């Protein structure tokens, strides 16, 4: 029997030191190193072009950020961060094209920093919205495609909603962000009751972009409402649900901010490992 291997779209150029509280910019390499214990299959990333960024974002904003004339989502103009942005959004887009082209049911893009990025603004550790960059690129290639964005980060995906509104994309993008209604541990039961309904409502979409955020963990300094076991159950529910529906999923990392005194992030890596376990 052939061993199942999860396609992972990664380049070392996705990682950068942001000089920020958030470890997200440097997380891709750490996560992929941690995933080496799993049966994964590494794939190259095709970088996003200016034109692809500009389908989802205001052109002057895109050029200003890439040229270091406007602050990124980490609040600086680091050229290393700017250089990484083509690869983080590129990982999501390359993975999405892969599942649509090959018929594979799932792929992972170990990237973060998307859902607070709006049409013409960065913020909240997010610079360009790789979710909507991916969605608009797919739409340009497949005019009738329907894209679902299932955002299970801790925080409200306000940037995603902003771009959907600006582009009048509600007719072909279904967006649900758990960070809008769910914020407290007492809501966990309600979340798990609603989640299958949300998945079912996306059955008519051609692809799902799933943000498997680590920051809803109950100990996260910017989160705090699901346990480790509940996060694993969340991921199992999502992957099993879309497998049953036959809708391919591309998933990424999103947030996660637990740090050890030495600055390392073993708790965050554990959560992302568990998402890979659920995927397998």
Helices (H) and strands (E) in the chain, counts: 9, 7
Of 71, 60, 57, the closest CA to residue 136 belongs to 57
Q: Is the pLDDT of residue 2 over 70?
A: no
Return the bridge partners of 42, or none.
8
Q: Where are the domains of the chain?
A: 6-279
Q: Is the pLDDT of residue 224 over 90?
A: no
Given a contact cutoff of 8 angstroms between Cβ atoms, the answer to whether 40 and 5 are in contact is: yes
CA dist 136 and 53 (Å) reads 9
User: What are the φ/ψ torsions at residue 174 (nearest 5 degrees)?
Assistant: -100, 120
Read off the pLDDT band of 3 (50, 70, 90).
confident
Q: Is the pLDDT of residue 211 over 80?
A: yes
Q: Which two tokens stand for residue 199?
A: 């998945």
pTM: 0.97
Q: Which CATH number applies to 6-279: 3.40.800.20, 1.10.760.10, 3.40.1480.10, 1.20.1440.230?
A: 3.40.800.20
Of 188, 84, 175, 174, the closest CA to residue 128 belongs to 84
Given a contact cutoff of 8 angstroms between Cβ atoms, the answer to whether 220 and 258 are in contact is: yes
- In tens, the pLDDT along 30-53 reads 999 999 999 999 999 999 999 999
CA dist 31 and 133 (Å) reads 23
Given a contact cutoff of 8 angstroms between Cβ atoms, the answer to whether 14 and 111 are in contact is: yes
CA dist 153 and 180 (Å) reads 10
Of 151, 158, 103, 160, the closest CA to residue 133 belongs to 160
CA dist 38 and 52 (Å) reads 32
Burial grade of 183 (CB within 10 A; 0-12, 13-18, 19 or more): middle
- In tens, the pLDDT along 138-168 reads 999 999 999 999 999 999 999 999 999 999 9
The mean of the pLDDT values for the chain is: 97
CA dist 106 and 257 (Å) reads 26
CA dist 10 and 94 (Å) reads 10
Read off the pLDDT band of 4 (50, 70, 90).
confident
pLDDT at 199: 98
């Amino acid at each position: 029997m052939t061993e199942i291997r999860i396609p992972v779209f990664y380049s070392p150029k996705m990682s950068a030191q942001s000089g920020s509280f958030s470890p997200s910019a440097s997380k891709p390499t750490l996560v992929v190193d941690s995933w080496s214990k799993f049966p994964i299959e590494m794939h190259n990333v095709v970088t996003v072009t200016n034109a692809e960024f500009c389908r989802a974002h205001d052109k002057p904003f895109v050029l200003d950020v890439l040229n270091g004339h406007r602050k990124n989502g980490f609040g600086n103009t680091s050229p290393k961060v700017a250089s990484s942005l083509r690869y983080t959004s590129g990982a999501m887009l390359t993975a999405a094209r892969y599942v649509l082209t090959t018929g594979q049911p799932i792929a992972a893009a170990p990237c973060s920093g998307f859902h607070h990025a709006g049409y013409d603004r960065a913020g909240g550790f997010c610079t360009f919205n790789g979710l909507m960059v991916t969605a608009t690129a797919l739409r340009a290639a497949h005019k009738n495609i329907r894209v679902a964005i299932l955002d299970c980060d801790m925080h409200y995906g306000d940037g995603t909603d902003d771009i959907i509104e600006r582009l009048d994309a509600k007719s072909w993008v279904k967006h649900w962000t758990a960070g809008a209604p769910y914020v407290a541990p007492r809501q966990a039961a309600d979340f798990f009751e609603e989640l299958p309904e949300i998945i079912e409502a996306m059955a008519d979409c051609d692809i799902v972009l799933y943000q498997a955020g680590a920051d809803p963990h109950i100990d996260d300094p910017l989160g705090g409402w699901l346990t480790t076991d509940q996060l694993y159950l969340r991921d199992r529910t999502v992957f099993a649900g879309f497998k049953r529906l036959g809708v391919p999923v591309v998933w990424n990392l999103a947030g996660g901010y637990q740090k050890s005194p030495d600055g390392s992030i073993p708790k965050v890596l554990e959560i992302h490992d568990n998402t890979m376990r659920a995927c397998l």
